[in-house]
Amino acid sequence: MSRRVESFYDSCPQNEWIRMDRHRMEFRTTLRAMGEFIPPRSTILDIGGGPGRYSIELAKAGHRVTLLDLSSQNVELARQKAREMGVEIATFVHGNALDLSRFADSAFDAVLLMGPLYHLVEPSDRDLAIREALRVLAPDGLFFASFINRYSVYIDLLKHDPGEITSCAKRYEELMTTAVHIPTEQNPGFTDAYFIHPMEIEPLMSGHGLSTLRLAVAEGLIAPVEAAVNGLPEEAFDAWVDVCYRLGTDPTTWGAGEHMLYVGRKS
């Protein structure tokens, strides 16, 4: 995995923590899926767990969680946040999704890849990360993975500066064609990233022997108006969570969101 990715997250661990405050719908629908599928008191490996937003919530729910992240600063912030909240995370590991050799085969009831697959721009690396995660996953274990939707390229533009389309149409078309962003001096933006077409996710996972339990757009239909929905009273926001979770599995909605969530079972 690129050193640029590690440096990017080392430089802004707090930003990654608060990202889920900006993307509340993604966070809530993902947690709902985890709550629906993960049995009580499971052992979980959170690969690319960042500063621990999912790890902490899962530990609160009674699971035994190991957090691994490429960024040492993310790991340190996760440790700090867990301590502040009085939550016990079993182990914190500074490591790489491509090498899980420190863990035994079939060691976990569930594994999470909530980020690495959209920073691995080479198909061979994505395959390796999936194989490593499956190696440490017990038979019949649960596999969760998040992806950045290819159409998020345009959704992000719509949300922040739609008028820019006149000056950057070629660059955005290239992103749609290559599905890969590599930062340059002229276009730093995000770090190394891969944007998957939603229809490519299930074939990728079935190719690794996984049985699909849920494939859904995380934000549902609200991505372009996310800020407005975030500002709603809690009762109204909760109602939109219900709508987005229910409609998120409909393939006709997948292009409307920025992130996809895959849930599968190891055969």
Structural domain includes residue 166: no
Structural domain includes residue 171: no
Structural domain includes residue 185: no
Q: What are the tens digits of pLDDT across the range 53-77?
A: 999 999 999 999 999 999 999 999 9
Neighbours of 184 (CB within 10 A): 8
Q: What are the tens digits of pLDDT across the range 22-56?
A: 999 999 999 999 999 999 999 999 999 999 999 99
Question: What's the Rg (C-alpha) of the chain?
Answer: 18
Structural domain includes residue 53: yes
Q: What are the tens digits of pLDDT across the range 181-208?
A: 998 877 777 899 999 999 999 999 999 9
Structural domain includes residue 155: no
Structural domain includes residue 161: no
Structural domain includes residue 79: yes
DSSP 8-state secondary structure symbol assigned to residue 175 = H
Structural domain includes residue 163: no
Q: pTM of the full predicted structure? A: 0.96
Which residue range(s) make up the domain with 111?
Answer: 3-150+193-266
Per the structure, how many domains does the chain have?
1
Domain holding 251: CATH number?
Answer: 3.40.50.150
The Cα 180–Cα 174 span in angstroms is 9
Q: What are the tens digits of pLDDT across the range 208-217?
A: 999 999 999 9
